[in-house]
Amino acid sequence: MSNWNEVKREGDVSTWRPEVNEALEGVLTEITRNLGENKATLYVITTANDEKVGAWETSVLRSKLERLPIGTEVKIVYLGKRKSKAGPGSYHDFQVFTRPKTEAEKVFMGEE
């Protein structure tokens, strides 16, 4: 019996740890704030294969994802660490793309 599949609790989310130029695509399904002792925010993306993947907040992601409504299809591309212009530190940079719903998706979701 070597083909074991893990049984996860409802709401379990895997954490995205991207490499440079890696993308995460899916639908923004949750934004959970004030997690843990650091009061962190987790953006949950549900992928096409129905996996929930969490991206921890960075200042770049916050500035781009906070404006999007839940249900928006997104593609997040990790660009790597960049040197800060305002000081000696660095930050994680991301590109964020959205794609409008097709007419069929709008009808299916009851928006038309």
Domain locations in the chain as residue ranges: 14-108
pLDDT above 60 for 1: no
Question: What pLDDT is recorded for position 83?
Answer: 94
pLDDT confidence band for 2 (50 / 70 / 90): confident
pLDDT above 70 for 61: yes
- What pTM does this model have? 0.79
pLDDT confidence band for 12 (50 / 70 / 90): confident
- CATH classification code of 14-108: 2.40.50.140
- Compute the distance between CA of residue 80 and CA of residue 69 in angstroms, rounded to an integer: 26
User: pLDDT digit string (tens) for 14-26?
Assistant: 999 999 999 999 9
User: pLDDT digit string (tens) for 31-41?
Assistant: 999 988 999 99
One-letter identity of residue 57: E
- Compute the distance between CA of residue 19 and CA of residue 67 in angstroms, rounded to an integer: 25
